[in-house]
């Protein structure tokens, strides 16, 4: 497996999960703990300073609230339900912990004190889509140079689910996670990945089938940040998707500079057959492909 990828969860029965088969347990218990000895020693300036430095380099950075994924587990009488343990965080907290120069110390604190290396990290939940065209190709986009992570690399359409869709424009400190409805959290997660495909690729929503959850991958280059992987099938061919993308009027057109397609039946060999292209892919795309192959029992890499 690629060193940038760890698998957190994969569907156990070979059947991708529609929204009705996924549940969420929102709780402040699943928020990031802020009492790490490393963070206390540095003080509040740790996250603030990192955010200020990042904004100075990239004034386009915006701090929004995100969900935090504490864990994923199979549930139900025969494990047919996927259960998400969800808290909240924000992008500032994410860059200030998962991307902190002190991240190894934070992980060591978590492992030593709570037997969980992620306890003191933001672990903002990402979402990514393995979009399959009508002629059975996977869609990849080259990320724009101004993006905060993996700029210039090939990636799947994706982004984040947004707590503000449920609670409004509240700051992280003002969100009461315990008041969130688990069903609404799940709906926002599934809705968010559809929005990302529409807004980034310009595929109309009516040309996309409902997302199906395949699993969750962790990005080791961002200290184990999790991203849920969804398969979404489109009724458009590669040529039709390319034409829509090249119109350039999608709301997030500036987040990518190019688009390409890979036949789905070659994906499991991509790392060995085309290592140069594989090395030009973002960790989230590698995680997306890895989870897809494991979920469908394909020979991987």
Model confidence pLDDT, tens digit, residues 145-162? 988 888 999 999 999 999
**Confidence at 225, pLDDT banded by 50, 70, 90:** very high
CB 68 within 8 A of CB 163: no
CB atoms within 10 A of CB 271: 19
Please compute the mean of the pLDDT values over residues 16-26 and round it to a whole number.
Answer: 97
Domain boundaries defined on the chain? 5-295
Comparing CA positions, the residue from 179, 138, 177 lying closest to residue 296 is 138
- pLDDT tens digit sequence for 88-127: 999 999 999 999 999 999 999 999 999 999 999 999 999 9
Please compute the mean of the pLDDT values over residues 48-52 and round it to a whole number.
Answer: 92
- For the entire predicted model, the pTM comes to 0.95
CB 146 within 8 A of CB 60: yes
Question: Domain spanning 5-295: which superfamily?
Answer: Nucleoside Triphosphate Pyrophosphohydrolase (3.90.79.10)
């Amino acid at each position: 497996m690629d060193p940038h990828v760890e698998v957190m969860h994969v569907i156990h029965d070979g059947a991708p999960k529609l929204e009705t088969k996924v549940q969420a347990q929102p709780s402040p218990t699943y928020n990031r703990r802020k009492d790490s000895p490393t963070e206390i020693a540095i003080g509040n300036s740790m996250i603030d300073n990192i955010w200020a430095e990042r904004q100075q380099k990239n004034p386009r950075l915006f701090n929004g609230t995100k969900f935090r994924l504490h864990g994923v587990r199979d549930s139900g009488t025969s494990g047919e339900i996927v259960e998400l343990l969800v808290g909240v965080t924000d992008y500032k907290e994410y860059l200030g912990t998962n991307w902190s120069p002190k991240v190894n110390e934070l992980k060591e604190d978590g492992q030593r004190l709570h037997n969980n290396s992620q306890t003191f990290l933001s672990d903002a939940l990402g979402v990514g889509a393995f979009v399959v065209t009508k002629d059975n190709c996977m869609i990849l986009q080259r990320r724009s140079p101004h993006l905060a992570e993996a700029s210039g690399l090939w990636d799947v359409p994706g982004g984040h689910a947004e707590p503000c869709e449920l609670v409004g424009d509240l700051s992280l400190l003002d969100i009461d996670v315990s008041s969130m409805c688990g069903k609404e959290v799940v709906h926002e997660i599934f809705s968010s990945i559809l929005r990302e495909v529409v807004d980034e690729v310009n595929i109309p929503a009516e040309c996309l089938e409902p997302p199906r959850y395949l699993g969750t991958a962790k990005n080791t280059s961002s200290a184990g940040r999790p991203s849920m992987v969804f398969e979404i099938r489109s009724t458009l061919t590669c040529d039709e998707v390319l034409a829509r993308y090249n119109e350039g009027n999608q709301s997030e057109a500036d987040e990518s500079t190019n688009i390409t397609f890979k036949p789905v039946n070659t994906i499991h060999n991509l790392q060995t057959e085309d290592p140069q292209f594989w090395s030009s892919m973002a960790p989230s795309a590698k995680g997306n492909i890895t989870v897809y192959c494991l979920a469908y029992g394909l020979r991987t890499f």
